[in-house]
Amino acid sequence: MKIVEKMDRLQKQFISLEFFPPKDKNEWPAFFRVADRLAQLQPLFASVTYGAGGSTKGDTLEIVSRLRNEHGLDTMAHLTCIGAYRGDLQLFLDRLVATGVDNVLALRGDLPQDAPPEFSACRTLLHASDLAAFIKECHPDMGIGVAGYPEVHPEAVDAEHDLSYLKLKLDQGGDFAITQLFFDNDLYFDFVAKARSIGVDKPIIPGIIPVVSLKVIQRIISLCGATLPAAYLAELEEADRRGGAAAVQKVGVAHARKQAEELLAAGVPGVHIYTLNRDQVVLDLVDGLLP
């Protein structure tokens, strides 16, 4: 079933989860134990990331299949188009359908290192909007999610152009959007208001991440363009001085929980949690969050 159809039928707020495939298959047993614990939360869906240039697409395919068929999770596979060929994408989508996976998050993806800006194996699949249209064409019954950027995509000309691309992705086949992580809820509310003002009427699910260490979050935000509010960063740095990673994680979970509570109280469809494959962190974050 399409995720957007599940939202409509559910008629209540939800949580969803995002996992990333461990690089070493020796880590897979531990990963699936984490997934099994988090399946207790009955998330609306679980998404699985896809490495730069499709580098982990085989792992993504196997993991979404196992999460669905062995762990009872409705899954959504990430899929990127930059540097890909239509035939390879068609094959990946066909295999997803064959394993019962009905949803894809359509992304442009990151350019390979040292690639020129105009690089792409397929010149007709340069943007996430192209991929959304391609998926809609070859698998019209598949659910399609797209990404939204409350703080503007790092490569966007400006916020206005970025919003127009969000609308294009949704118009080309996307059913809903999931936002990039953010730490100030006002950024999300402002982003949604501006999207609505240009005619976007599909669900925009906020994505939040619990900070588990300063090193990890600084690496993540350097890649995605999100910003840590000065007061929050100071609180994390003080926690790090006082108690190291454990103290940082405690502050990070508390902040993410407060974000989630405020977002849900404001009536968002649900909250998408970037799990970092950390089961206890997510369990602490969502304990008692929903009725």
Catalytic positions, please?
A: 18
Report how far residue 247's alpha carbon sits from residue 267's, in angstroms, rounded to the nearest whole number: 31
Element housing 219 (H / E): helix 214-224
For 19, 34, 75, 120, the CA distances from 38, given in Å and listed in that order, are 11, 6, 13, 37
| Rg of the chain (C-alpha set) | 18
Report how far residue 120's alpha carbon sits from residue 54's, in angstroms, rounded to the nearest whole number: 13
Report how far residue 103's alpha carbon sits from residue 100's, in angstroms, rounded to the nearest whole number: 9
3-state secondary structure of 95: helix
Token pair recorded at residue 173: 């086949």
